[in-house]
């Protein structure tokens, strides 16, 4: 039947095929000599190759997790929102299962907003535990952004339903934490746990800023997420500071 099936139908079949169905699709149509069908078979092969490359990348991202898995629960920690003029700093703490095979986890800044949202749901579903810490603008002004970031990270650890045995941190060592820590430079791109934490922190913070935008639309928080874009700084000059602006960050905006 395959040789008389219309190419458009075969294309639909490929688009509907899940990952595990691709080898059967290739086997089914590889003898069909029509150029359009061969093109679809090649697409299927490239898709399989890309998936295999992604699996290898994810395996490489587990190098720290495997190094420390004998310690017990390995937790990745990262933050979002150290640089913005407005809004909180948010930390994420994630303990992934040892057999975790979630694809496409990466430094959240390297992912599209849609991909981060998709992965957020998968991480929340599959993680052993997820903790979030949020420290607001007034506290940031009071103790400075670095100390506020540490505070958010400590909150995230405390909010885990499982106590971790070792922490993999993105570049920092968190004060006042007794759990052993491993700071990793650019950890969100080198560790699957830290990458997952960066996604949790970023999505949580972005969602908060979108909610703030509904109350204070004049600042464009849904778009700029509180970062100092030209339009955002012009809005501060025009309307003054909002309740969620960091006074210590906007004092030089005239």
- pLDDT, residue 4, reads 75
Phi, psi of 180 (to 5 degrees): -55, 140
- For residue 133, the surrounding DSSP H or E stretch is strand 129-135
C-alpha span between 252 and 38 (Å, rounded): 62
- pLDDT, residue 252, reads 84
C-alpha span between 61 and 191 (Å, rounded): 5
Q: Pairing between strand 181-184 and 166-170?
A: parallel
Contact between 183 and 173 under an 8 Å Cβ cutoff? The reply is yes
CA atoms within 13 A on the CB side of 12: 5
- pLDDT, residue 2, reads 45
- pLDDT, residue 134, reads 98
pTM of the model: 0.88
- pLDDT, residue 55, reads 92
User: Which residues of the chain fall below pLDDT 70?
Assistant: 1-3, 254
C-alpha span between 237 and 231 (Å, rounded): 10
Query: What is the SS3 assignment for 149?
Result: helix
Q: Domains (ranges, CATH) in the chain?
A: 2-60 (no CATH), 63-203 (3.30.420.10)
Contact between 152 and 89 under an 8 Å Cβ cutoff? The reply is yes
- Whole-number CA gyration radius for the chain: 23
C-alpha span between 85 and 237 (Å, rounded): 13
């Amino acid at each position: 039947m395959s040789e008389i099936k219309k190419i458009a139908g075969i294309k639909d079949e490929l688009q509907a095929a899940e990952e595990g169905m691709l080898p059967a699709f290739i086997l089914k149509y590889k003898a069909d000599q029509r150029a359009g069908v061969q093109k679809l078979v090649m697409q299927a092969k490239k898709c399989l190759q890309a998936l295999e490359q992604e699996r290898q990348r994810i395996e490489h991202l587990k190098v720290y997790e495997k190094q420390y898995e004998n310690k017990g629960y390995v937790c990745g920690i990262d933050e979002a929102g150290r640089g913005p003029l407005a809004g909180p700093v948010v930390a994420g703490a994630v303990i992934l299962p040892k057999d975790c095979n979630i694809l496409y986890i990466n430094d959240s800044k390297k992912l599209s907003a849609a991909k981060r949202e998709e992965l957020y749901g998968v991480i929340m579903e599959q993680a052993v535990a997820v903790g979030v810490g949020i420290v607001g603008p007034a506290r940031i002004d009071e103790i400075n952004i670095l100390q506020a970031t540490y505070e958010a990270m400590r909150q995230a650890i405390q909010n885990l339903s499982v106590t971790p045995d070792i922490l993999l941190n993105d570049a920092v060592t968190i004060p006042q934490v007794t759990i052993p820590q491993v700071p990793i430079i650019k950890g969100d791109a080198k560790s699957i746990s830290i990458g997952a934490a960066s996604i949790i922190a970023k999505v949580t913070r972005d969602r908060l800023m979108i909610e703030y935008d509904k109350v204070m639309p004049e600042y464009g928080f849904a778009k700029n997420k509180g970062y100092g874009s030209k339009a955002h700084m012009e809005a501060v000059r025009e309307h003054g500071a909002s309740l969620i602006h960091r006074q210590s960050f906007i004092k030089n905006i005239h």
